[in-house]
Amino acid sequence: MGNREGKREIGVIIGPMIMVASVSVTVYGLVTVHLGRVSRDWQRAQATITRSGVVKRTSTSGSGSSRRTTTRYHVEATYTYRVGRHVHVWSRYAYGASSWHSASTRAKAERWRQNYLPGQALTVFYDPERPSQAVVVRGATYSAYFIALFPPLFLGVGLLFLLLARAASRASQGGQHAVSNSRSFVIAALATVAFYAVCGLALLVI
């Protein structure tokens, strides 16, 4: 009884958290893809690089003996461009891109940065309805599509936690518990497939 109660409490807490996070990230990815597609029709303008540099970013994954630290060097830049009588300052490279370029070493990043030194000219594309918004590369990056399509897997995981918690609270015999668990896996799988279908339709529509 105590074991089932513990599983139920864990599922009730973790399940909704995973589901909310999954839906939130998916919506963010879909919006990013949409903006990237819209940018394909933006107007062209000549811009000038005003600043560029290399930023070191370190991320850690795992714990204990499996703890792993990854270091990447990102190129970032700022540019100015004129639309009518207004001069705009912006830094976005493309929708879905966290930086202009990423490399495993500072030397590689610095070599790439030579293409975008201060004072150099480049072509950007701005939103005619909001000229302060611009990109260097039109469209959405592959990472934007990944963000939109990968998190739905976790929606199924979160739903599975909830269903298993429900099964644990109602089960009175091992056989009934097994049947409930099997049914939970099927429902979670179907919900994941349905969410993927909705995301796929959204990508087609937007």
C-beta neighbour count of 19 within 10 angstroms: 20
CB 126 within 8 A of CB 42: yes
Residue 43 backbone dihedrals phi, psi, to 5 degrees: -85, 150
Q: Which amino acid is at 49?
A: I
CB 7 within 8 A of CB 184: no
Interacting residues of 13 by C-beta distance below 8 A, sequence separation 6+: none
CB 8 within 8 A of CB 177: no
In the chain, DSSP assigns E strands to 43-61, 68-83, 86-90, 101-103, 121-126, 134-135
- Which one has a higher pLDDT value, 101 or 66? 101
% pLDDT > 70, the chain? 65
Query: Average of pLDDT values for 16-20?
Result: 72
HSE at residue 127, side-chain half, CA atoms within 13 A, is 16
Q: In this model, does residue 88 exceed pLDDT 90?
A: yes
* pLDDT score for 28: 84
Count Cβ atoms within 10 A of the Cβ of residue 13 and give its class: 0-12 exposed, 13-18 middle, 19 or more buried.
Answer: exposed
% pLDDT > 90, the chain? 43
Token pair in block for residue 93 = 């490279």
Could you tell me the sign of the dihedral formed by the alpha carbons of 5, 6, 12, 18, in that order? negative
HSE at residue 12, side-chain half, CA atoms within 13 A, is 10
CB 135 within 8 A of CB 124: yes
Residue 90 backbone dihedrals phi, psi, to 5 degrees: -150, 170
pLDDT tens for residues 115-165? 999 999 999 999 999 999 999 999 988 888 887 777 766 766 666 666 666
Domain boundaries, the chain: 2-33+149-205, 43-137
Closest CA to 99 of 68, 47, 143: 143
